[in-house]
Amino acid sequence: MSQYATTTGNLSARIALHSYGTNPQSWYAWLGERLPLVGDVLEVGAGTGELWRRIGHPPRLTLTDFSPAMCARLREVPGAQVQRCDATRLPFRDGAVDAVIANHMLYHLDDPDSALREFARVLRPGGRLAVAVNGRDHMAELDALGPAIGRPDLAVRFHDRNDVTAEATPARIAAHFTDVTAERYPDELVVPAVEPILAYVVSMIGPLTAAEESAARAAIQARIEAEGAFRVRKHTVLISATRGPR
């Protein structure tokens, strides 16, 4: 993902939009209550480490990401070990960890199934996996802006190329793990202003021309005037699984 290699800004703009969620419990708080935070915990594709800025972290936590810019931010998380690496080639021995977390990262990978094999390799038997991904209809209202502003390439759904989705991923995980369950995080975005939507769009497709920006502003504003806010449906699931015996 070239957009993550040298900057954390795109990811931060996207995280900011989720503050307009209607669920009073934030995604990170909801997730934190469900994560297997016992023993040696490894997060792959940890990004800016936002999760650990919002919830307390376990004593033995290793954070990894393949982006140097993300790893620089991760080194600011007190007490965590940070290692730069690709999720499909983890520099840990077989059975080294008790829990692997892959939060909103699996759909970025060219070969997600080889990452799942790698997660199973580094987990001890009985160790736990937590994977967060989105449904096929996640934030579809943002993609729908593309044609309205002359940018049909607007796609907030990274998973279109590999179908790492809420619908398809449990079966892919079941090829390597047992006890696979999925739980949906209930939320919808209700955004009363143009700017946060515009910032998100720019984080996905880069700067807009003046004509595109004015079309985007008009389309977003029209929706706000008609409905009181720009509503965006969310569809995010946490998939949990257990590493079976070797």
Ligand X SMILES: C[S@@+](CC[C@H](N)C(=O)[O-])C[C@H]1O[C@@H](n2cnc3c(N)ncnc32)[C@H](O)[C@@H]1O
CB of 102 to ligand X, least distance (A): 8
**Residue 235 in contact with residue 137, Cβ under 8 Å?**
yes
Q: How far is the CB of 86 from ligand X (least distance, A)?
A: 4
Q: Considering beta carbons, is residue 10 or 242 the nearer one to ligand X?
A: 10
Q: CA-based angle 124:42:67, to the nearest 5?
A: 135
In the bound state with ligand X, the residue whose beta carbon lies nearer, of 108 and 223, is: 108
**Nearest distance, CB of residue 51 and ligand X, angstroms:** 6
- 185 forms beta bridges with 236
Choose between 90 and 197: whose C-beta lies nearer to ligand X.
90
Q: Which residue lies nearest ligand X, judged by its C-beta?
A: 47
Tell the smallest beta-carbon distance from residue 222 to ligand X (Å).
29
Choose between 133 and 197: whose C-beta lies nearer to ligand X.
133
- By CB under 6 A, name the binding residues for ligand X: 1, 4, 11, 44-47, 50-51, 65-67, 70, 86-87, 103-105, 108-109
Judged by beta carbon, residue 46 or residue 149, the one nearer ligand X is 46
Instruction: Output the smallest distance, CB 45 to ligand X, in A.
Output: 3
Cα separation values, 142 from 11, 89, 150, 194, 230, Å: 16, 34, 13, 12, 10
Residues 108, 113, 114, CA angle at the centre, nearest 5°?
95
Q: Which of 155, 157, 148 is nearest to 211 (CA)?
A: 148
The residue among 84, 66, 57, 63 whose CA lies nearest residue 4 is 66
Residue 241 has which token pair? 């699984």
